[in-house]
Amino acid sequence: MSRETRLGLAYAAAAFVLWGLTPAYWKALRQVPAAEILAHRVIWGFVFVAGWMSLRGHWPALRTAAKDAGTAAALAASTVLIAVNWGLFVWAVNADRVLDTALGYYINPLVNVVLGLGVLRERLNRLQWLAVGLAAAAVAVLTVHLGSLPWVSLALAASFALYGLLRKTVSADAVVGLGFETAALAPLALAFLALQEHRGAAALGHQGPATDLLLVLSGAVTAVPLILFTLGVRRIALSTTGLLQYLSPTLTFLQAVLIFHEPFTPAHAASFGLIWIALGVYSLDLHRRLRRLDGAGIGP
């Protein structure tokens, strides 16, 4: 294994581990409303990303992206989707629905397959259809158990899958795109925080230094895993990234059950079991397809 591959594995694994541990971070801020956490996440995320782009000389790339009408439109749409995803995730964690978020991110790769079918007009093979069918069965089990669709899981999976689809259509890299998104959201976030301060309901500066520090560091919590992910995926194979991505929801799942002691019923066990089987089928199919491409001499 080359040094570059080892670095890529370390960067990507670190990114997914950090993403998987974020529920514990947002739990530490449960006394702050989710909308206010989101606002701080946007503002301090922009500050952090702006510093990173200054160090890397990425501001010209951001200006180029903003000037291109198609790129700017796609990034504007992705801005809405990531705001929904971030806000819903924080709300779910602090509403003791961490298990729902884990399910959402387990489902996400399979939602990508469905989007490929419906949006990109891709054809699914038998293994892909099997994986999607198992995921649908998992959702059906929870729907019957809960008496309603597991909307938090589905909304997280759909918003992030659509976000990823949109980001694939633009040439801007992940960090530049995040710079655009946080810059676009920052004025709204500042206005909301100013309103909170006017109402006497703001957390920053009023709930102690620990809360202040956690809110300010939310920018790094948002940006650092993405930067590590960007550095990692350039150095490792797609199949490796596809397997590493399960680290995040697995860590989240373990926190939900073992640390936060959320209810894990037989219906949850059946649903997660079906999802895990579906992901095994999906990973097998991905591995086979990549091997065929390598055998045909296609790829980087």
Range 21-46 average pLDDT:
96
Least confident of 139-143, 220-224, 237-241: 237-241
Look at residue 14 in the predicted model and tell me its pLDDT: 94
The residue with greater pLDDT, 292 or 202, is 202
pLDDT for 24 beyond 60: yes
DSSP state of 123: P
pLDDT in tens, 253-273: 999 999 999 999 999 999 999
What residue spans define the domains of the chain?
3-295
Q: Cβ distance 25 to 221 under 8 Å?
A: yes
The residue with greater pLDDT, 216 or 230, is 216
pLDDT for 41 beyond 70: yes
pLDDT for 233 beyond 70: yes
Range 137-165 average pLDDT:
91
pLDDT in tens, 179-208: 999 999 999 999 999 999 999 999 999 999
Q: Cβ distance 268 to 142 under 8 Å?
A: yes
Task: Of 39, 85, 82, give the one whose Cα is nearest residue 196.
Answer: 39
Q: Please give the share of the chain, as a percent, with pLDDT higher than 90.
A: 66
Range 218-247 average pLDDT:
84
Gap between the Cα atoms of 16 and 250, Å rounded? 10
pLDDT for 297 beyond 50: no
Token look-up 């980087």 returns 300
Look at residue 299 in the predicted model and tell me its pLDDT: 36
Token look-up 């929904």 returns 84
Look at residue 290 in the predicted model and tell me its pLDDT: 66
Look at residue 271 in the predicted model and tell me its pLDDT: 94
Band the pLDDT of 1: cuts 50, 70, 90.
low
Look at residue 245 in the predicted model and tell me its pLDDT: 86
The mean pLDDT value of the chain amounts to 89
Q: By CB neighbour count within 10 A (0-12 exposed, 13-18 middle, 19+ buried), where does 229 fall?
A: buried
Gap between the Cα atoms of 46 and 222, Å rounded? 10
Token look-up 């710079």 returns 179
Three-state SS for 296? Answer: coil
Q: Cβ distance 139 to 154 under 8 Å?
A: yes
Structure tokens at 18: 């950090």
Gap between the Cα atoms of 114 and 129, Å rounded? 9
Task: Of 153, 147, 117, give the one whose Cα is nearest residue 132.
Answer: 117
Least confident of 39-48, 80-89, 116-125, 150-159: 116-125
Helical spans, DSSP H, in the chain: 3-27, 34-56, 59-67, 69-94, 98-118, 126-146, 151-167, 174-199, 209-233, 238-244, 247-254, 266-295
pLDDT for 155 beyond 90: yes
Band the pLDDT of 296: cuts 50, 70, 90.
very low
**Amino acid present at 68:** D
Look at residue 40 in the predicted model and tell me its pLDDT: 97
Q: How many CA atoms lie within 13 A of 148 on its CB side?
A: 3
